[in-house]
Chains A and B, each alone.
Chain A
Amino acid sequence: MKLSVEALNSYYGPAHILFDVALDVGDGEVVALLGRNGAGKSTTFRSIVGLVAQRSGRIVFEGRDVSDQPTHAIASRGLGYVPEERRIFTDLTVDENLEVGRQPARPNAPQWTREKLFSLFPNLAEMRGRTGGRMSGGEQQMLTIARTLMGNPSLVLLDEPSEGLAPRIVEQMVEAILTMKREGLSIMVSEQNLHFTRLICDRAYIIERGRICFSGTMSDLDARPDIRDAHLAL
């Protein structure tokens, strides 16, 4: 098991946001976390990587309990996180953005070099010296994934990678994620676009009002239109 989360509860000030969230990701698996805006997807990811100050529960990554670790320690163990709004360092060049993400190689994770990343995202190779602020949204999304991969993670949490991108770019994103999977990376994606999810994922969780309300394979989900309609409103 790559990642296993048990009884995760999170709070922002007085507000209780996540209720006993439990989920896991197997080695080399691509798992989806589906749900509407405000259902708790981003908070789940942020809680796992320690960006939510008030949380309780058990988060086991590669057999080690990281629940009490600070964000940077979790990340340097090989748990990569790609946030929702891309959050590129807009004043830094592509090369510098990648430099921030650079970490030593890990035995149990695929290794990435700049060259390998540039072949995964060919657009980036042409703009190494360009600052992040002068890139289009699609290019920024690729850079933010590449930046996280520079840390040679063994698991990546991708928060809504298709949001706000042109359909054609989303198709490129599908290719990139499938390549990452072939390299042996475990991936968890939060999404609203079920079609995108179908193209890349093995399993899915559905989160609603801070609680996990469905867990199963993609075909399990297709067999339950009631759940799909109730929580994804498709």
Chain B
Amino acid sequence: MSTAPTLLSVERLSKSYGGVHAVRGVSFELKGGEILALIGPNGAGKSTCFDMLNGQTRSSSGRIKLLGQDTTGRKPREVWRLGVGRTFQITATFPTMTVRENVQVALLSFRRQLFNVWASTPRFAEVEAGHLLELVAMGGYAERPCGELAYGDLKRLELAIALANEPKLLLMDEPTAGMAPRERIELMRLTARIAREKSIGVLFTEHDMDVVFEHADRILVLNRGTLIAEGSPEQVRRNPEVRAIYLGEGLVYDARHREGASA
């Protein structure tokens, strides 16, 4: 993995809102196929970081480079076109369409066919949409109304949509929030498999330490807008500062993590 090229490089990224420094001088790199977790207390600046990476929020200073290209200050749809897929903490899908149509819309947009009045959407790129759904094990749900899906299935659909633009980088904001523990593990395994196969870099935020410690290759710890630690799961878990600020005594996750690992 160390030989893979740098996919994303963030240099001294900062954001302040009216005098409040939400993010201060955050720098890190991410390689293709690598899974990087961003953790920290609520309000540490994780979401702000995410929003800056995908263009939802403008940074106050600093640079974001995707495959050598400067994307600082680009709009979300421009960043998306450069190959960044995103899933949201609260799933964002199109509830009045079928599962397949959800993916088809993303494909239409990727192929710049949105103003094509003559095409019929329900028949557009059916095969490719089907492949994407197969990839996230949703092939059997293609014709279902998206509004009827269970929460875990919605998360997988969101992943399929996020993969429609053949992304090089996936940004996942609390991908497993609100899911049952087993579903969490399945979703993260799926994500990891796709990331390795397609050499996609994944950056995710997460509060469930079991997911983080099990699936992240590397972890960044953010506190009050500053990176306070970076390293392998083991290094981060042992870091006394991270324990004091964030992880605590391990009463509410450690044991569970061990169980999950042995299961």
Do chains A and B interact in one complex?
Answer: yes
Please tell me if B182 contacts chain A, counting CB pairs below 8 Å.
Answer: yes
Interface pair A138/B42, CB less than 8 Å apart:
yes
Closest to B208 in A: A193
Q: A165-B42, A166-B248, A234-B181 are in contact. Are A37 and B255 (CB under 8 A)?
A: no
Please tell me if A224 contacts chain B, counting CB pairs below 8 Å.
Answer: no
B206-263 interface (Cβ within 8 A of A): 207, 209, 244-253, 255-256, 259-260
Residues of chain B contacted by A196 (CB below 8 angstroms): 252
Please tell me if A167 contacts chain B, counting CB pairs below 8 Å.
Answer: yes
A39, B118: Cα distance in complex, Å: 44
Minimum CB–CB distance from B19 to chain A (whole Å) comes to: 12
Please tell me if B180 contacts chain A, counting CB pairs below 8 Å.
Answer: yes
If over half of B's interface residues share one DSSP class (helix, strand or loop), that class is named, otherwise mixed; here it is: loop
| Residue from the set B43, B245, B250, B253 with the largest chain A CB neighbour count within 10 Å | B43
Minimum CB–CB distance from B69 to chain A (whole Å) comes to: 34
Interface pair A167/B248, CB less than 8 Å apart:
yes
Residues of chain A contacted by B95 (CB below 8 angstroms): none
Interface pair A164/B177, CB less than 8 Å apart:
yes
Please tell me if B134 contacts chain A, counting CB pairs below 8 Å.
Answer: no
A134, B178: Cα distance in complex, Å: 24
Minimum CB–CB distance from B22 to chain A (whole Å) comes to: 11
Minimum CB–CB distance from A91 to chain B (whole Å) comes to: 16
Please tell me if B41 contacts chain A, counting CB pairs below 8 Å.
Answer: yes
Contact partner of A166 (CB less than 8 A), chosen from B42, B178, B181, B260, is B42
A143-191 interface (Cβ within 8 A of B): 162-171, 174
Please tell me if A194 contacts chain B, counting CB pairs below 8 Å.
Answer: yes
Please tell me if A192 contacts chain B, counting CB pairs below 8 Å.
Answer: yes
Q: In the complex, how many residues of chain A place their beta carbon closer than 8 angstroms to a beta carbon of chain B? A: 29
Interface pair A193/B150, CB less than 8 Å apart:
no
B75-109 interface (Cβ within 8 A of A): none
Please tell me if A36 contacts chain B, counting CB pairs below 8 Å.
Answer: yes
B13-71 interface (Cβ within 8 A of A): 20, 40-43
Interface pair B247/A167, CB less than 8 Å apart:
yes
Please tell me if B151 contacts chain A, counting CB pairs below 8 Å.
Answer: yes
Q: A168-B248, A199-B251 are in contact. Are A136 and B43 (CB under 8 A)?
A: yes
Contact partner of A164 (CB less than 8 A), chosen from B42, B151, B245, B247, is B42
Interface pair A165/B207, CB less than 8 Å apart:
yes
Please tell me if B143 contacts chain A, counting CB pairs below 8 Å.
Answer: no
Please tell me if A129 contacts chain B, counting CB pairs below 8 Å.
Answer: no
Interface pair A167/B245, CB less than 8 Å apart:
no
Please tell me if B183 contacts chain A, counting CB pairs below 8 Å.
Answer: yes
The chain B residues found within 8 Å of chain A, CB to CB, are 20, 40-43, 150-151, 174, 177-183, 207, 209, 244-253, 255-256, 259-260
Knowing that A166-B42, A167-B251, A171-B248 touch, tell me 5 more A-B residue pairs with CB under 8 angstroms.
Answer: A37-B180, A167-B248, A169-B41, A170-B248, A234-B181
What are 26 A-B residue pairs whose CB atoms fall within 8 Å in the complex?
A: A36-B179, A36-B180, A37-B178, A38-B150, A136-B43, A138-B41, A138-B42, A164-B42, A165-B207, A166-B207, A166-B247, A167-B209, A167-B248, A168-B41, A169-B42, A170-B248, A170-B252, A171-B251, A194-B256, A195-B253, A195-B255, A196-B252, A199-B251, A199-B252, A233-B183, A234-B260
